[in-house]
Amino acid sequence: MLDLKDIKEAQNRLKNVVYSTPFAYAPILSEMSGYEVYLKKENLQRTGSFKLRGAFNKIATLIESGKKNGVVAASAGNHAQGVAFAARHFGIDGTIVMPESTPLTKVMGVRELGSEVILKGTNYDEAYAYAVEYAKEHNKDFVHPFADIEVMAGQGTIALEMLNEVDNLDAVVVPVGGGGLISGISTAVKTINSDIKVIGIASSGAPAMKMSYDAKKPIDTTSVRTIADGIAVRDTSPVTLEYILKYVDSMDLVCEDEIANAILFLLERQKLMVEGAGAVGVAALMHGHLDLPKGSKVGIVLSGGNIDVTMLSLIIEKGLIKSYRKMKLIVTLIDKPGALRRLSELLESVNANIVQIGYDRTSTDLEFGDAHVSVSLETKGKEHQDGIRQALQQNGFPFREEH
């Protein structure tokens, strides 16, 4: 069983390798929520994620016991880089099995750390099954991303840093996927001070652990779909569920829009690049999922910052629309000279900045002699958008909105 001694031993192994990342007061979030909020910035960790802690601790214990034949892992993300980093550090072979659909940037990131990459399977579960068999066949040690005592102990070192830096925390909020992070953190927190609440936050698109927590038994899901790919875990681990049921006070879900909103907030207001999995705690805070007394001192773990650039672009676009800073319209015009100029002059008169425009006169839903103008506008809030709609209606421009 994992205990505080294991976590403190892990801290000794990690002290000259991982960063003791900032655990800093967040004034804007504190004012918004009525709590005293601190952010544990594991997005600034080496390799960009907390996963380095668990992977390094596991491989260090293998080396201590004389196992130097090499390690194997299955991952398309942060665990892969953690294992590859640790394998290079100890001078042993690393093999990472990744799904065939893994973006090239992630494949190259692992190869640059010195590990071999095998692309196998259409999803993580197929890659995982292959990796386990590959490790057996080649007499190498498989490093599980979460269901492992040494891995959980490594993740638990985050809690030691948090409790050492900020006194009298009332609650710690932790992302939950496979459960390794919250198992390690909750073991440390509750052993040191059982009065501190530990709150787990998962994505509504990957609810297996939340369902299992509520039912008090492992429940698997048939599929996962979430922008928080770091916690997109389909099946529940009985190993981590045992610790979660023992130590975690509550667990909640946040939806995709809430996660996207938190990513955008952290980028824009906190100047922090945080991936979907890392942003779920802030999403829960921003959208009222934390049931704590006002004034509570709350620590939130930002578990990682390795977000795909394409995904970030999409999140920013959706976030701008959701926060009334951008609107997309399709306006129907009579297809004649001057009509487009008249529309642009109207938009200018209401201070709407055109950032993209398209002209279509061939769509099958158009009446003969009409044209569709698709226009993206930079706007200044909900009232400004209401004024734009009113101006279009008053001046006889039929339109519909795109979301």
Annotated catalytic residues are: 51, 303
Please tell me the distance from the alpha carbon of residue 341 to that of residue 227, in angstroms, as a whole number. 40
Sign, CA dihedral 55-56-60-61, equals: negative
Please tell me the distance from the alpha carbon of residue 398 to that of residue 403, in angstroms, as a whole number. 17
Q: Would you say 373 and 331 are in contact if contact means Cβ atoms under 8 Å apart?
A: yes
Q: Would you say 94 and 138 are in contact if contact means Cβ atoms under 8 Å apart?
A: no
Helix (H, G, I), strand (E, B) or coil at 204: coil
> Helices (DSSP H) in 271-328: which residue ranges?
276-286, 309-322
Which one-letter amino acid corresponds to residue 334?
Answer: I
DSSP assignment string, 233-286: --S--HHHHHHHHHH--EEEEE-HHHHHHHHHHHHHHS-----HHHHHHHHHHH
CA 336, chain centre distance (Å):
49
CA 270, chain centre distance (Å):
16
CA 77, chain centre distance (Å):
11
Q: At what angle do helices 339-349 and 382-394 cross, to 10 degrees?
A: 140
> Helices (DSSP H) in 113-178: which residue ranges?
124-137, 149-165
Residue with tokens 């380095």: 52
Please tell me the distance from the alpha carbon of residue 373 to that of residue 359, in angstroms, as a whole number. 5
